[in-house]
Structure 1
């Protein structure tokens, strides 16, 4: 999954409480700004067992998201919702795992990652169902399945086309605003290139350590690697003008992550946050003036939404203040509403929430014009 699963994977790792690292003034200011950004918040998803990662087409007429629905598949599948009618259509094959969906800005097609071409996909589904039936308790973890590829399909879910066709974890993809480019995350080089002894050891211990940000043409050609680290770079999204990419970079020990931004050619890489905790799931406001993201600065099991200016010059400002998980925020294309994933439900399962966004308050809180 683009952001959520990776973050949940690390929730069970004991982390030092962020207050030891941050100035008290920052904590006080962030708490003071935690109310009033979102009004009329309500739960969008109802029937799903779990749901998250919702994204909108540029005209706001369609929303794509992932959800666990059917009893015969324990993994997420991809669903497309017509905003006007409320009609929902499954667009993924229904076999194997899927994640990281996106809607083309103008055409009637969608993007997602899937393992449905894995010969063992159904066997893995059955094994997971049996494990759950047995009552076995297992910490939730993403496995960076090497059979993940990036696919596009039309709104009916037909005419599925594999855009990557490369062994390794290819996921977390999104189209550029003009639909000509795709940014994504991949550890393909661990399968296609000769690794140094150090890299081989890193990959064996943690397959996410060799995940980098890549960019390619919308047809899957001209693939270019943009980041060159030995830590997990993932969750890339384009800026509203299509000139930059925002993403999150994990620390070498995997216990922290910070928000970064760069030009689409990989140049001018800048660190935006310096919170020394788990900060991830960044997404630009359509104005291009600030970024919203999730962070556990208030305790490693309590993820809250924050905003920060695009250059990282201002102190981040707190948006949500509910105990538990709030993450994967995305603005509607007009910037007037926010949709995010939260476990503020009686069952503590991640589902979609939605509310009116106060853009003017956001600008004022960051001292932006």
Structure 2
């Protein structure tokens, strides 16, 4: 169904970008392409991800998150002097949760993968050195998955705050108890945390939103209400004109626009439950998706550099099978040809 030979044509010079962490993932380029912000697990008394900022030229790397609690979903402001991330460091039980996680890992208990939608997650902004941290969301519930508009004036994010800010019916409470992501919707706010507006009102998990290069559209993943499958969607910046791009009936997620705006790259396990590969599709969904990767291991969370000539993504194509961020040269012209634009 999908051609398996395109990886060699689209991706060249693939290498592991992050080599000094126990596990790394979900990284993004700064607007000038010189910095890379990512989440990483490192040795120490906090087993959870923390956020790091790397100079891609020198390799100099420093932590920008507080170092306590869970963190995820980081971004560099287009002015380059600020960073954004989600964190639970203000959770009064953060240290206790860290110690418990260490005990569980040391016990060797085998657990299925599951994301923690901790209600203490807030979106924070800080200086590029991690100082002067400010809480932008200040709302009970999971606030995360934030991304800046290209001009830095707006922030998209996901939140299940509605489940905490109103009284749920008995039926709703049952749904929420079974899946805390059920009431997750997309929001947009000014970059200082003001003027919050809800964009989606759909049962099930709406998450992972990103702006199109011209800031006119949003691309995101939408899970079915049962949480068993997800598809890629787009909509206008005001929440109108929602359009489903994929129909995998599996889990398609992690969509990201190419800087040209010509296509969207994403990850899907349509080829097998545990086999996530990268695919690309035009924003109108007019043509079938094109398979990008064909290497053993999980390939997820792809992002383009601002010039569109590099791709970074999280993958388990490592000798020990741990997830680490890799980078490669990207052939934009070949992508256009495969999608039928040339």
TM beyond 0.5: yes
Cα deviations across residues 248-279 of structure 1 (Å, max 9, x unaligned)? Answer: 00112212110000111101111011111110
SS at match of 1:235: strand
Aligned equivalent of 1:187: 160
SS at match of 1:208: coil
Aligned equivalent of 1:105: 78
Aligned equivalent of 1:352: 325
Tell me if 1:266 matches 2:239.
yes
Tell me if 1:118 matches 2:91.
yes
Contact 1:296–1:304 (CA under 8 A) maintained in structure 2: yes
Pick from 278, 289, 296 the counterpart of residue 316 of structure 1: 289
Contact 1:233–1:247 (CA under 8 A) maintained in structure 2: yes
Structure 1 segments of 4+ aligned residues over 6 angstroms from their partners: none
Contact 2:80–2:128 (CA under 8 A) maintained in structure 1: no
Cα deviations across residues 39-67 of structure 1 (Å, max 9, x unaligned)? Answer: 01011111100001110111111110000
Cα distance in 1 for partners of 2:6, 2:317 equals 20
Pick from 108, 113, 132 the counterpart of residue 105 of structure 2: 132
Aligned equivalent of 1:205: 178
Cα distance in 2 for partners of 1:143, 1:356 equals 33
Aligned equivalent of 2:50: 77
Aligned equivalent of 1:236: 209
Q: CA deviation at 1:35?
A: 3.7
Aligned equivalent of 2:21: 48
Contact 2:30–2:80 (CA under 8 A) maintained in structure 1: no
More deviation, 333-342/192-201: 192-201
Aligned equivalent of 1:20: none
Aligned equivalent of 1:173: 146
Aligned equivalent of 1:153: 126
Tell me if 1:216 matches 2:189.
yes
Aligned equivalent of 2:337: 364
Q: CA deviation at 1:85?
A: 1.6
Cα distance in 2 for partners of 1:198, 1:49 equals 41
Q: CA deviation at 1:354?
A: 0.5
Unaligned runs of 5+ in 2: none
Q: CA deviation at 1:32?
A: 5.2
Cα deviations across residues 144-187 of structure 1 (Å, max 9, x unaligned)? Answer: 00000000000111100000011100000001001000000000
Query: Aligned runs of 1:80-99 on 2, under 5 Å?
Result: 80-99=53-72
Contact 1:68–1:77 (CA under 8 A) maintained in structure 2: yes
Cα distance in 1 for partners of 2:310, 2:4 equals 22
Cα deviations across residues 93-141 of structure 1 (Å, max 9, x unaligned)? Answer: 0000000000101241000000000000000001111111122221221
SS at match of 2:97: helix
SS at match of 1:47: coil
Contact 1:57–1:106 (CA under 8 A) maintained in structure 2: no
The higher-RCO structure (CA 8 Å, 6+ apart) is: 1
SS at match of 1:190: helix
Cα deviations across residues 67-104 of structure 1 (Å, max 9, x unaligned)? Answer: 00132111000000112221001000000000000010
Contact 1:199–1:230 (CA under 8 A) maintained in structure 2: no
Contact 1:187–1:211 (CA under 8 A) maintained in structure 2: yes
Cα distance in 1 for partners of 2:277, 2:116 equals 25
Contact 2:4–2:293 (CA under 8 A) maintained in structure 1: no
Compared with structure 1, are the counterparts of its residues 321 and 154 closer, same or farther at alpha carbon in structure 2 (3 Å cutoff)? same
Cα distance in 2 for partners of 1:248, 1:221 equals 25
Cα deviations across residues 285-337 of structure 1 (Å, max 9, x unaligned)? Answer: 00001000000111110100000001111100000001220010000000001
SS at match of 1:140: coil
Aligned equivalent of 1:333: 306
Contact 1:34–1:317 (CA under 8 A) maintained in structure 2: no
Cα distance in 2 for partners of 1:107, 1:320 equals 31
Unaligned runs of 5+ in 1: 1-26
Q: How much is the aligned-residue C-alpha RMSD, in angstroms?
A: 1.0
